[in-house]
Structure 1
Amino acid sequence: MSSQTTPSDKYDVDLGELGAKLEIARTENEADVAIVEHTLPPHTLAAPLHRHSREDEISYVLEGEMTVLAGDEIWTVPADEATVKGRNVWHTFWNASDEPLRFLEIIAPGEFSEFFMEISQVYPVDPADEEALARFEEICERYGFEADLESVPKLCEEHGLQI
């Protein structure tokens, strides 16, 4: 049986420009689902290309619009619409608009929601910082998460983004 969440379970962190605030912890429900509110400024890449091996992410856009790259497909998700970023698919997303992006990320199962708090201690990762890179890789491995840090410059150049 899941326990009630405590205030110490909640977080509100910045991962570079991507804000992450835990709204519903996986310990608050029997379904083991978590909800994280994310914010992202205009013309900003949220993360390198990455994939999850254990969970699906459902993004519901509250304000602005999200551009998603998954596999070879790119699409835009406007406010009041949702999209699924499924497990085992290389993907990333960004805010290509002139307005801030705010969305809810429903994570199922919800253990991955704890990744954001842990990774906030080392992200954004400078590939030249071997200690930070090793810690980043250890956290990613524990969560079944792969990230292609080398994808960032190309994505930023191709889509006119910052990180």
Structure 2
Amino acid sequence: MQRRNFIQATLASMPVIATTGKLSTFRNQKGFKVNAGKDRFDQPIKYRGVNPNDVKISSKDTDRQLTVLEYVGFEKIGPPLHVHFDQDEIFYVVEGEYLFQLDTERMTLKAGDTIFLPRAVPHTWLQLSDKGKLVYFLQPSGQMEEFFKKMNELQGPPTPELIQQIHQAHGMKVVGPPITL
């Protein structure tokens, strides 16, 4: 009986012990500024080799709790319909016009509009204007920075199988094609 009480008391105290530790060493404690048109680490990522997709706040700054990116689009393109298994996304349209799809619903967003895309719900977007700019947030971070870097390393257009493989390796799944008009 004493052993049982000891085990129960130990298990009951584990959450208290786990939450009393110091902040992770991966959390930035100093704060910082990222200049307009710049990437947090001066390592800009080009979406499809053309469109800047700059990290403003890195998962490395927030113990993987938040990532903030700024996308500048010079093409009327967007990603395939996909789901994030563990991340919510929030998009804020700074410039231009975009068509977003959340599950089966489509919504047009213009400068100043915001959309919340919950995890595990299929979504995509298409830039409608000649130029556009988005600021978007991923919470928790997941592996988006690594995903974009991996996609940026590809030489030539990837096969659908390779696209799916890279998505799945980074906590996502492609579930349909991009939006077309």
* Residues 1:13 and 1:31: Cα distance change in structure 2 (over 3 Å): closer
Aligned position for 2:84: 52
Q: Which has the higher contact order (CA 8 A, sep 6+)?
A: 1
Aligned position for 2:56: 23
Identity of aligned residues (%): 19
* Residues 1:8 and 1:20: Cα distance change in structure 2 (over 3 Å): closer
2:167 to 137, 140, 151: 140
* 1:1-163 paired onto structure 2 within 5 Å: 1=24, 2-4=26-28, 11-16=43-48, 17-29=50-62, 32-42=65-75, 44-97=76-129, 99-114=130-145, 115-122=147-154, 125-127=157-159, 133-134=161-162, 136-148=163-175, 151-152=177-178, 155-156=179-180, 159=181
Kept in 2: contact 1:49–1:147 (CA 8 A): yes
Count of residue correspondences: 146
CA offsets, 1:42-61, max 9 Å, x none? 5x121111111110110011
Provide runs of 4+ in structure 1 moved above 4 Å.
7-10
Q: Which residues of structure 1 form unaligned runs of 5+?
A: none
Kept in 2: contact 1:140–1:146 (CA 8 A): yes
Larger CA Rg, structure 1 vs 2: 2
CA distance in 2, matches of 1:124, 1:61: 29
Deviation of 1:125 after TM superposition, in Å, equals: 3.6
CA distance in 2, matches of 1:51, 1:34: 17
Deviation of 1:3 after TM superposition, in Å, equals: 4.0
* Residues 1:85 and 1:10: Cα distance change in structure 2 (over 3 Å): farther
Deviation of 1:108 after TM superposition, in Å, equals: 0.4
Amino acid at match of 2:100: V
The secondary structure found in structure 1 opposite 2:153 is: coil
* Residues 1:106 and 1:88: Cα distance change in structure 2 (over 3 Å): same
- RMSD of the alignment, in Å? 2.7
Deviation of 1:139 after TM superposition, in Å, equals: 2.5
Q: Which residues of structure 2 form unaligned runs of 5+?
A: 1-23, 33-38
- What TM-score comes out, normalization by structure 1 length? 0.76
Deviation of 1:140 after TM superposition, in Å, equals: 1.5
- What TM-score comes out, normalization by structure 2 length? 0.69
Deviation of 1:142 after TM superposition, in Å, equals: 1.9
Is the strand fraction higher in 1 or 2? 1
